[in-house]
Amino acid sequence: MLYTTLLLSLREIARHKLRSFLTTLGIIIGVFAVITMVTLGNGISASVQESISSLGTNTLTIFPSSGTGRGGGAPPPPFEQDDVDAIREQIGGVKTVAGQVTSSALAVRNAQNWTTTITGTSNDYFESQSLKFASGRPFTSAEESAGKAVCVIGDTIRENLFSDGDATGQRFRLGNVSCEVIGVLEKQDNSGFNDPNNTVIMPIKAVQRRFTGNQQIRAMIVSVQDGFDTGSVQKAITALLRERRHLAGGQPDDFRIFDSAQFAATLTQQTQQMTMFVAAIAAVSLIVGGIGIMNIMLVSVTERTREIGIRLAIGALGSEVLLQFLVEAVALSCLGGLIGIVVAFFASWGASSALNLPFVFDPSINILSFAISALIGVVFGYFPARRAAKLNPIDALRHE
C-alpha cells in the first residue's frame, strides 16, 4: 500500500512540476543555507587551526603586563637576559627560550627605502617560530655574543631592497647602522601579530646596543618539548618569574603568558560557535520552507476536494487519503532537501575555493539537514493531510 501511495504522490508531483518546485523552494533554500554556512564555517575553522599550528602549537610567549583595567600605575618592569637564562636552566620541559626586543627603522639600499620592524633575538627564535631559510644561515655564537650587525631578512624586505639579485652577503643601511645580510627567510603565508615577512632579525645584543639603547627584553618565547604539558610548564614559569620579580602573595602577576595552543583552541571554539549561530539563523528558513509546504498543501487539498471525494467514493480509506497527502508533502520536502544538498555542495565548494579556504565536506550536516527536511514534511504535511482524510465524500463530490 505504501508503494501504491508513493506512486500516486510522485505522479501528482510530476503533474504539477512548477508548483512542486515553487513549493519546495523554501526547503531548498533552507537546506542550502544551513549546509553552506556550516561547510564554510568548518573551512574557516580548519584554516584558523592551520595558520595557528604554523605558529608552533607548543610555544609560550611571555610579556610584561600589568593586567587589564589597571591604568595609572607604573609600567611593569621588562625582562632581562637573566630571566631568559633562568627559565632555560630551571624549568623542566623547556626546549628553547628566545628573548626578543623589537624596534623599527628605515631600511635603505641604493635608491630604495622601506620601513621595517627590527627583531632582536637568538637562534632559538628561528626554531620556535618554525622559520625556514630560503638562503644563507642563522647567527653564529660569536655574532650573538658580540652583538654583531648581521641580519636575517624577511621576504618582503628582500623583494623591496634586493629585487636585483641574491641578498646574502650584501649590506644595507638600517637607521644609522650598516648591516650585513647573512640569511633570507622563506616567504611565510601566515599573518600572525606582525608580518613575519616584513622584519629584519638581528642578534639581540646588536639591537639592544644600537637601537633600543638598553638591556631590556620585551618578550620571551618559550618552546615546550613534545610530551610536556604547556599548562604545567606555564605554571612553573609563572612561579619562577613571580619569585624573580619579588611579587608578594597577594599581588597580581605583572606579566602575561600567552599559550598558542590555548589560543588556537579558543579561536576554534569561537569560530565553531559563530558557525552554529549562523546555521541556526539559516535553519529558520527551513521552518519557513515547511510553512510554505503546509500552505500549498492546504490550497491543494481545497483545490482537489472533488478528487478526494472521487477517491473516497470508489473506496479509498481515510487513512489512505491521509497517507497520500502526507507522502506527497514528505516527498516534496525530501526532494527539496536533496536539491538543497546538491546546490550547497557546489556552492560551498565554489565559495571555499574563491575565499581560499579548505573545503571540508561534513557528511553529518548533510544527513542532518536531509532528516530535518523530511521531518518538516511530516510535521507540516500532517495537518493538511488530516483535513483531506476527514472530508465527507458526498460534500467533497459536490464541491465546485
> Which residues contact other proteins by CB under 8 A?
1, 4, 7-8, 11, 15, 306-307, 309-320, 393-394, 397
**Cβ 301 to other proteins, closest distance in Å?**
15
* Closest to 343 (Cα-Cα) out of 29, 121, 122, 108: 29
Nearer to other proteins, 97 or 385 (CB): 385
Least distance between other proteins and beta carbon 390 (Å): 10
Helix 260-303 / helix 318-354 crossing angle, nearest 10 deg: 140
Helix (H) or strand (E) holding 64: strand 59-64
Q: Which is nearer to other proteins, 11 or 235 (CB)?
A: 11
Place of cell 610567549: 61
Strand, helix or coil for residue 100: strand
By beta-carbon proximity to other proteins, the closer residue of 8 and 37 is 8
Cell of 128: 620556535
For other proteins, the closer of residues 257 and 332 by Cβ is: 332
CA–CA dist 120, 218 (Å, integer): 10
* CB 348, min distance to other proteins, A: 38
Q: With respect to other proteins, which residue has the nearer C-beta, 321 or 341?
A: 321
Q: Tell the smallest beta-carbon distance from residue 393 to other proteins (Å).
A: 5
The minimum distance between CB 9 and other proteins, in angstroms, equals: 12
Distances (CA, A) of 63 to 77, 241, 242, 266: 10, 11, 13, 20
Q: Give the residue from 119, 27, 67 showing the smallest Cα distance to 374.
A: 27
Q: How many whole angstroms separate alpha carbon 279 and alpha carbon 33?
A: 7
Distance CA 295, CA 250 (A): 67
Residue number, 221 or 396, with CB nearest to other proteins: 396
CA angle 302/305/308 to nearest 5° reads 135
| Least distance between other proteins and beta carbon 8 (Å) | 7
To other proteins, the closest distance from the beta carbon of 17 in angstroms equals 11
DSSP for 90-110, written as a single string: HSTTEEEEEEEEEEEEEEEET
**Which CB, 82 or 303, lies closer to other proteins?**
303
In the complex with other proteins, the residue whose CB is nearer, 11 or 137, is 11
Q: Count the neighbouring beta carbons within 10 Å of the beta carbon of residue 362.
A: 15
Distance separating alpha carbons of residues 366 and 341, to the nearest angstrom: 7
Q: How many residues does the chain have?
A: 400
Closest approach of other proteins to the CB of residue 4, in Å: 5
